[in-house]
Chain A
Amino acid sequence: MNTPAGPVWPMYRALVGIGMLSGLLIAVVYGGTRPIIEKNRAEALERAIFAVLPKASQRTTYALDEAGGFREDPQAGGERVHAAFDDTGRLVGVAIEAAGMGYADTISVLYGYSPEEQAIVGIRVLASKETPGLGDKIEKDPDFLANFEALDARLDETDSSLANRIETVKQGEKTEAWQIDGITGATISSIAIGDILAASSERWLPLLAGQLETLKPSAAPGGAADGTDGQDRRPEPTTETDDDER
Chain B
Amino acid sequence: MNVKEPSATDEFIKGLWRENPVFVQVLGMCPVLAVTNSAVNGLAMGVATTFVLLMSNSLVSLLRDFIPKQVRIATYILIIATFVTIVDYAIEAISLDLHRALGAFISLIVANCLILGRAEAFASRHKPGAAVLDALGMGAGFTLALLCLGGVREILGAGSLFGLVLFPAGFEPWIVMILPGGGFFTLAGWLLLINHRRQRRERAEAAGGPLQEAGR
Contact surface of A with B, Cβ cutoff 8 Å: 1-2, 4, 6, 10-11, 13-15, 18-19, 21-22, 25-26, 29-30, 33-34, 36-37, 40-41, 44, 127, 129, 131-134, 240, 242-243, 245-246
Contacts and interface: CB of A to CB of B under 8 A. Distances in A.
B93 interface: yes
Nearest to A7: B68
Given A15-B71, A127-B100, A22 B93 contact: no
Contact of B66 (A14, A40, A134): A14
14 contacts: A2-B68, A11-B71, A14-B67, A22-B78, A25-B86, A30-B89, A33-B93, A34-B89, A44-B96, A129-B103, A132-B37, A132-B178, A243-B90, A246-B51
* Most B CB within 10 A of own CB, among A13, A26, A44: A26
Given A14-B66, A26-B86, A19 B92 contact: no
B132 to A, nearest CB: 14
B70 A6 contact: yes
A18 B79 contact: yes
Given A11-B71, A18-B78, A243 B93 contact: yes
B95 interface: yes
B75 A14 contact: yes
Interface string B22-54: 000000000000000100000000000001000
B81 interface: yes
Contacts of A127: 100
A112 B28 CA distance: 43
Interface string B77-120: 01101100110011011111000100100000000000000000
Contacts of A14: 63, 66-68, 71, 75
B75 A40 contact: no
Contacts of B157: 133
A240 B71 contact: no
A18 B89 CA distance: 20
A30 B93 CA distance: 10
Contacts, number: 86
Contacts of B175: 132-134
Nearest to A242: B94
Contacts of A41: 96
Given A132-B37, A240-B95, 16 more contacts: A2-B68, A6-B68, A6-B70, A10-B68, A11-B68, A11-B71, A14-B75, A15-B71, A26-B86, A29-B86, A40-B95, A131-B179, A132-B178, A133-B179, A240-B94, A245-B90
* Most B CB within 10 A of own CB, among A19, A36, A132: A132
A243 B95 CA distance: 11
B177 to A, nearest CB: 9
B173 interface: yes
A2 B69 contact: yes
6 closest cross-chain pairs (CB), A and B: A133-B175, A22-B82, A33-B93, A36-B93, A33-B89, A10-B68
Contacts of B158: 133
A135 to B, nearest CB: 11
Nearest to A131: B179
Contacts of B67: 14, 18
Contacts of B103: 129
Contacts of B68: 1-2, 6, 10-11, 14
A14 B103 CA distance: 32
Contacts of A129: 103
Nearest to A28: B86
Given A2-B70, A25-B82, A133-B175, A37 B75 contact: no
B212 to A, nearest CB: 38
Nearest to B94: A242
Contacts of A133: 157-158, 173, 175, 178-179
Contacts of A22: 78-79, 81-82
A240 B32 CA distance: 28
